[in-house]
Structure 1
Amino acid sequence: MLPPDSVGVVTRQNKTYVRHRVTAGETLYGLARRYRVSVEDIMEANPSIKGALVSGQEVLVPRVRALVPATAPKAAAATTTGTEAPTAAARSLPTDAKGNRVYKVQPGQTLFAISRKFGVAPAALQRYNKLATNGGVKVGQTLIIVPAGGAAAAAEPAVAAAKPVPTPPTARPERDDETEKERAKEREREADREKEREAAKTKEAEATREKDVAPPSPTATPADEPTRASEVVRKVTESGLAAVIEGGNSEKYLALHKTAPVGTIMMVRNIMNGQVVYVRVIGKLPDTGDNSTVLIRLSKKAVAKLNTPDQRFRVETSYLPD
């Protein structure tokens, strides 16, 4: 189900994107966490984005969940009965000691998503694995996808007891209970995320007001030293000198930082021209030698994005710690 502030989907070059309408206060990092994609993927899909997002702006977000074909009556009928033939992917899965084809649940996957991946109905997976009708799956859980002897043999008792239900003519596959449950859960999660965003905005506004009226600190930081982090809500903001990673030839947006954990997605803004780039921290910057006055080192591609000819230049960084 698409979020309330999405305006539909679009397919370009065999890739599907969610058309997201930006609301006040939203950032690329926030969109990446919300849709479970990387900031780099969003920026690649939207080359026109040069800085902060603007309210009302439309952003294309790569969709990571597989789409169900609009016309597949044969597959849809099999899904409702639980007797469909497993896909080649299901038949290529490893077997356990009993001869069952099994699969280990990955992060972010649901029972419905796994059923679509391997062409097996959710009800059949529940029956093979003795799952509760309203239960989900857990990361790392091993599921039987094709039981020993084939799916048809395991589904035979259920099919014999089931009464035929006429299928209304439609161009879309029939939605089962599992789909509706997943959508209900997604709506609840979206409501919780919206509450968290509103609370964060309120706290950030209060912290900004307090900062505006606070007296100047008696110990000022030298101009050539990086300003250490000040945390507002959970957002860490720093300012200081930036330089290029020496000897690096990566074609990605990367960074070395003194305090941010490896894997952190960080916004870097060139204070002189306002240019912004999002980078991924790949290592710790030692506080020795030339690095003693440097806050962050960036890959050559990230420096080029900031559009500066200087070897060292002042930047502002911000990120949300885990």
Structure 2
Amino acid sequence: MVKSFMTLAVLVLSAAGVYAQDIIQVQGTTPDLYVMHTVKKGETLYSLGRTFSLPIKDIAAENNISADKGLQLGQNIKIPLNGANFSQKADAASGGAPLYHKVEAAETLYRLSLNHNKVPLDNIRKWNNMSGDGLKKDTYVIIGYLKGGSGAVAHTPTPTPAPTPAPAPVNNTPAPAPVNNTPAPVSNNNPAPPIENNTPAPTPAPTPTPAPAETKPVASSGSSFESLYMQQTSNGKNATTEKGPGGWFKSNAAAGKYYALHNTAQRGTIIKVTNPLNGKYIYAKVLETIPQIKGNAGLIIKLSDSALEALGTNDPKFYCELSYEN
């Protein structure tokens, strides 16, 4: 009796291990997002409905099968993702299992968001512990979470979820320890500072500080983008200019971080955008090109909504001046 109980426990644990290794990969693009599920032994439309939080009739209709008919072992079932079973809210991680997208060649974070219900970029960064916008081909990125469900999902495993161990390199950070060796000798060799105290005369030099009052531009963006712009344009010496109408797109970017779409500047270029009507300007980072649709015809740039606000305008289309690397 005890032996059979232990055998059963081992089987249950091994099965749990299989489930833990599976990855739920989202397929398709907005508005047709779905998951392909391979039927396993004992699974029914009823159990799939509970697992994926969908009515049986919806799964049956999506796969052109009868709700009364049983499922076959190994059968591929298409599970649609919609508001009933799929969440992309910032706090969605507290719900069900994560849903992944496999990154394709040259795919950008903005394009990934656009193809998956325009999920906010900040949500993707938060779920995946990303500090920047770069994506690596064949890695897996969380783009939302399954609502409710039983959680015991045995989905078609995509065996290459290797990207997850990537955080391991963080263990190499003990390297900073040697830095502790530098402070001791430096502090001991500095008895000279008292000599500097005998030269109070130079201190009046800072008097030219009234210059800051000359900063007429009322708005600017994060200093990091500004410094990148200065590097890229050699402090503005190697910059090209452009004038024309601009538009905007919705983004949940962090405060003070502005983003742009532009047709000729390379991805990662920092563009200085000025509103000539009030002199305000910001620095925005290029994500990718402007989508070629009717509403974007004639635009020289599209800015994130927070950038539009910083420029002091709320017009759908506005006149602006651009400056960026040649």
Report which of the two structures shows the higher radius of gyration computed on alpha carbons: 2
Question: TM-score of the superposition, structure 1-length normalised?
Answer: 0.30
**RCO higher in 1 or 2 (8 Å CA, sep ≥ 6)?**
2
TM-score, scaled relative to structure 2? 0.29
